[in-house]
Structure formats: C-alpha cells, structure tokens
Amino acid sequence: MKPTVHDIAREAGVSLATVDRVLNRRPGVRAATRERVEEAIDRIGFVRDVAAANLAKSRTYALAFVIPESDNSFMQALRDEVADARLRGALERTDIRLIAVPAFDEAALAQALDALIDNPPAGVAVVAIDAPAIQARMERLHEAGVAVVTLVSDLAASGRDHFTGIDNLAAGRTAGSLMGRFLSSRAGAVAVIAGSLRLGDHRDRLTGFSERLGEIAPTIRLLEVMESQDDPARVEALLNSAFRDHPDMIGVYNLGAGNRGLVAALTQTTGEAPVAIAHELSPLTRKALEDGLIDAILNQDPGHEIRSAIRVLKARADGLPVIAAQERIRIDIFLKDNLP
C-alpha cells in the first residue's frame, strides 16, 4: 500500500493538521517541526499527487504581482500580461492581484510588501529594488512559507525561490559585443544611460557591457554612466549634454527604459550618427530601427515572464521542482533586417 498522510503524522509524531500545513507550504509550523515532517516523508517514501489533491480540494492559488507603475513600456506590458492572466484565473485556478507601486520608490515597495506579510498569499512576484529594507521583507515572506519570485530584476541575497528574467550580465555582454563590432576599430567615446544602479538588472547589464567592450574595443573610451530614473525627458537632457561635452561620442547604450528620450536626442544630432543600442522592442523602437536611428534592440518577452512566474509560484507553493529549461527567458536581438 502507498503511504498516506496518516502514516506521515504517525511517523513524525504530529497532527494531521500539521502535516497538511507542511504539504501545502502554509505558515504556522515551526522550522524544527517542518523539518521533522519532511524527514518522515522521505523515510516512508510518500509521493503526493499534487494535481489530484488540488483538484479534489478545488484549490485556488492566491498570487500577488508587485510591479512599478510608470510610463515605461516594458513595465506597462508586464502589467497588461498580469491583467490577462487574471482573466484566465478560473481556468488556471489562480486568484491574481496586481499591486502597482511608484517606480524606484523604496518606501512604497516596502509598504506593499508589509501588507503582504500581514496577509500572506501563496506566492509573490516582485520587481525588486536592491535595498536592505526590501531584502529583509522578502526574507520574511519566504520564512512565512510564501513562494517568492523576483521578476526582471533579481535580489538573490533575499532567499527568493526563483528569478524570472533574462540573464542581464549576458545581455550587457551581448550589447558590448554588438557595439564593438558596429564601431570596428574606431576611436572615441561611448555613453551609457541606466535607469538606476539600485536595480540589479541595470548593474549587471552595465558590468557585462563594460567588460565585453573593453575586451574587444580597447580604443573606445567609456563615459561615466548616467542615471535617468527611466524618465524620457531626463534621458534626452543627459544625452544632449553628453553630445555637447564629448564631440568624439560615437556610441550610445541605453540599458534601461526612457527610449523616447533616446530617440529625441538622436534625432537632434548632426554629422555622423552614433551607434545606438537599446532594450525592448516597441512601436517607438521599431520605427527607430527602420529609420536607422537605433542599430540594435535587445528584447525579452513579457508574456513569457509572467506565465513563467505563475508556473514557478504554483510549483513552489506545492513543493514541486521547477523545470529550468521551460522557465529560461531568452534574449532576442533585433536589427532593421530581422524585425518580426
């Protein structure tokens, strides 16, 4: 006969209610007791049919997505994908809540996470700011038995269960390789615009870009990174100032958002156009590629990221492994010649 939950309770010396909390990763169980139950599960070889159990109980997964609210087209696309996922909730047995917080606002993000700690769902996906206060709150969610996924920007030290997003170090290195090849053996300056270096994804892209460009194009001088808070007007102002101060500027890498400002600044340049590389394919950047203002776009699929986060949160809530190959988010490279 197959082992049952009664066998687990007897082997671990706990109540059936405690076994149920451990199996369903709910809070309210001390770490030592949870460990004793998990050891009992291993000893007796209990294998849970999660799908059947959830179907029998008509389980619904309460999930929360915490995403910045701004005119950043990619963040808007993420919010739209969450809204679509909410409409599929009945079919996928999910109850999804979208919590929008002001971009780069540590206090607002901390407040949103505090509310989730007080009333924990089964899983939380969050675009994380790298700050001790945010890390501490994510750790508390994880310790309470909540599945935690970082979305787009990672915060590995928080103990999160999974990161859903592209390899941002590889994205930066890819941009560096493209920039070096486009510029060939030319000498001059390259400007880099970041949204904020408090975001792990922006720091990783900068690191990868700087390292790779230095390896293949030693004649290029990298200017000090400029932070724009992903504000298009600030991107435009920073670039216009850089063009004035550095007449030998031959390249621009916008590793964050605010591409409207990038396009506006490039439109105003005179003489030989600088090589421009940016992130996220949108109607604006598509037209800029077609017009020759931008040379390459690195893109990630927001739909894949939201679907992946939902799969991971449900799997973690059930104590199941994540299928790494299915959840790998790829980096797409678009030039004028291969636009979809």
Same domain? For 220 and 133 the reply is no
- When pLDDT is averaged across residues 219-244 and rounded to a whole number, the result is 97
Same domain? For 189 and 282 the reply is yes
**What range defines the domain where residue 143 resides?**
60-165+302-329
Contacts made by residues 272-277, CB under 8 angstroms, sequence distance 24+:
274/249, 274/250, 275/179, 275/182, 275/183, 275/250, 275/251, 276/251, 276/252, 277/175, 277/178, 277/179, 277/251, 277/252, 277/253
Cβ contact 125:118 at 8 Å: no
Same domain? For 95 and 240 the reply is no
Distance CA 304, CA 280 (A): 14
Same domain? For 132 and 66 the reply is yes
Count: domains in the chain:
3
Q: Does the pLDDT of residue 27 top 80, yes or no?
A: no
Same domain? For 116 and 14 the reply is no
Render pLDDT for 181-207 as a digit per residue (tens, 0 to 9): 999 889 999 999 999 999 999 999 999
Residue 293, φ and ψ in degrees, nearest 5: -75, -40
H/E run at residue 255: none
Q: Does the pLDDT of residue 34 top 90, yes or no?
A: no
Indicate which CATH number applies to the domain containing 28.
Answer: 1.10.260.40
In a domain, 335, yes or no: no
Q: What percent of the chain has pLDDT over 70?
A: 95
Cβ contact 109:85 at 8 Å: no
Same domain? For 252 and 174 the reply is yes
Same domain? For 242 and 309 the reply is no
Indicate which CATH number applies to the domain containing 120.
Answer: 3.40.50.2300
Same domain? For 214 and 275 the reply is yes
pTM of the model: 0.82
